[in-house]
Structure 1
Amino acid sequence: MIDKLTRKSRADGEQSRERLLLAAMKLFGEQGFSRTSTREIALAAGANVSAISYYFGDKAGLYKAALTDYLPPPQKNIEMFDQPGFTLRQALEGYYAQLLGPLLEGDEAELCLRLWLRELLEPRGVWAEELNTGIRAEHMAFAAVLARHLGVPVDDDVHRLVHACAAFGVHLMMGGDVIKALTPQLLAGPDALRNWIPRLADYAEAIVLAEQQKRQKGAV
């Protein structure tokens, strides 16, 4: 009986924490950190204000959790494109699959992206921290993958290539409102989103091969 009550308590606690996170993502994304109160978040989540202290420590802790709790660990993302036997094509498709993966999570993904945009506009240090940890690790791993397929060391041109490849996917993540306004069918549901992965891999493969040809001409 005690075990059942304990499990129920844990399940209720997880649901309460989840509701607080979702409410925080929405309100912080819409209003920003300073204009959003913990009381407002608790009310939207149907929870007690004290639950914020219990689960997140304080408002800043809740804000950071709202931004980062749904992010996969960097190594998990890297494993999707950096495998010893991968061809260039497999590496590129894996890269875009992990990059666009969060968009397939539906409403939660949209809330998270809007909150990250708010963090970019009104930084509170979470973006800088993520940039210097997860994003840097993924960038360097992808640079190593492209350099390996090109048969060159990682140099500035390889880094430029990584940024160019990333830009294809980042536009879908950060420019979703533009795409929906101009060509809504291209983001109309999970299947439409998945269709982007092989096409982005096509575009990226083309510029990687162009870089390879440029280097070969330079060598000659």
Structure 2
Amino acid sequence: MNAKPTSIDTSQPADDGRKPRSDGEQSRERLLLAAMRLFAAQGFSKTSTREIAQAANANVAAISYYFGDKAGLYQACFSFMCQPEPDNIAQFAQPHFTLRQTLEGYYRQMLAPLTAGGDAQLMLRLFYREMLEPTGLWQQEIDNNIKPEHLALVDALCRHLGVEQPTDDVHRLAYALVGMAVQMMVGRDIIASITPHLLDGPEAIETWAKYLVGFAEALVLAEKSKLQQG
């Protein structure tokens, strides 16, 4: 879930040198924004096209025109919100990186969505809903993004551990490293209730990321020491 969320801006600033969007483009964006909010709050099955159209101040027929049907609109929401950064893996899987550089790059790209504010929350809630009521899009995210990045992390860990081939222990280590960051996303409500300042803005998230790097480095070095001891 480390895609980069994008923002929908339905305003039209004057005199900015850009061509004003057509009424059709604005209508499509309003439908996307309304659908993302409703799908995130209620899930796919409990959200009706009429509800989405009403929230977007648009005609129900516009959904068919722009997206085909509700399923097409749902797919468009994920495509819009979750545009993977092409260099995600490159940020941490460079063969010349030290262990710390590898971990810094990994957590940097993974935690990037958290700095997007409300857009990040909307994206995460969509993912939660999709996991609770799967339509197949979550599996696509796993196959297209999560799995390749996991395997790239495992390969990098093998290099730092001096292991020629990935083992179950290396996979477990990778899952543990990822889990520390996932907890920040899945457990946001808990963190906000107990220690809200720990996620209060980009600087707080950056500080947490530095701690994650330190924790992760200790775990990797502990695993390396265990391997060296036989």
TM-score when scaled to structure 1?
Answer: 0.89
Q: Deviations over 1:95-116 (max 9, x none)?
A: 1111111111111110111111
Going from structure 1 to structure 2, the CA distance change for 1:134 and 1:21 (only over 3 Å counts) comes to: same
1:88 CA displacement: 1.1
Check whether the contact 1:74–1:135 (CA below 8 A) recurs between aligned residues. no
Aligned length: 212
Q: Which runs of 4+ in 1 moved over 6 A?
A: none
Instruction: Find the aligned partners of 2:113 and 2:90 in 1 and give their Cα distance.
Output: 16
Which shows bigger deviation, 204-213 or 52-61?
52-61
What corresponds to 2:207 in structure 1?
Answer: 195
Partner in structure 2 of residue 120 of structure 1: 131
TM-score, normalization by structure 2: 0.85
| 2:123 paired with 1:91 | no
Q: Find the counterpart in structure 2 of residue 158 from structure 1.
A: 170
2:48 aligned partner, one-letter code: S
1:184 equivalenced with 2:196 (yes/no): yes
SS at match of 1:76: coil
Q: Would the alpha carbon gap of residues 11 and 142 (structure 1) be closer, same or farther in structure 2, given more than 3 Å must change?
A: farther
Q: 1:62 to 1:162 in 2, by over 3 A?
A: same
1:142 alignment partner in structure 2: 153
> CA contact under 8 A between 2:82 and 2:123: conserved in structure 1?
no
CA distance in 2, matches of 1:207, 1:144: 16
State the match for 1:175 in structure 2. Answer: 187
Q: Which is richer in helix?
A: 1
Unaligned residue ranges in structure 1 (runs of 5+): 1-6
8 Å contact kept, 2:88–2:109: yes
Distance 1:63 1:133 in 2: 18
Higher relative contact order (CA 8 A, sep 6+): 2
How far did 1:178 drift?
0.7
Choose 89-98 or 8-17, whichever is displaced more.
8-17
CA contact (8 A) 1:74 1:138 kept: no
Identity %: 58
Work out whether residues 96 and 197 of structure 1, in 8 Å CA contact, stay in contact via their aligned partners in 2: yes
Q: Which runs of 5+ in 2 are unaligned?
A: 1-17
The equivalent of 1:71 in structure 2 is 82
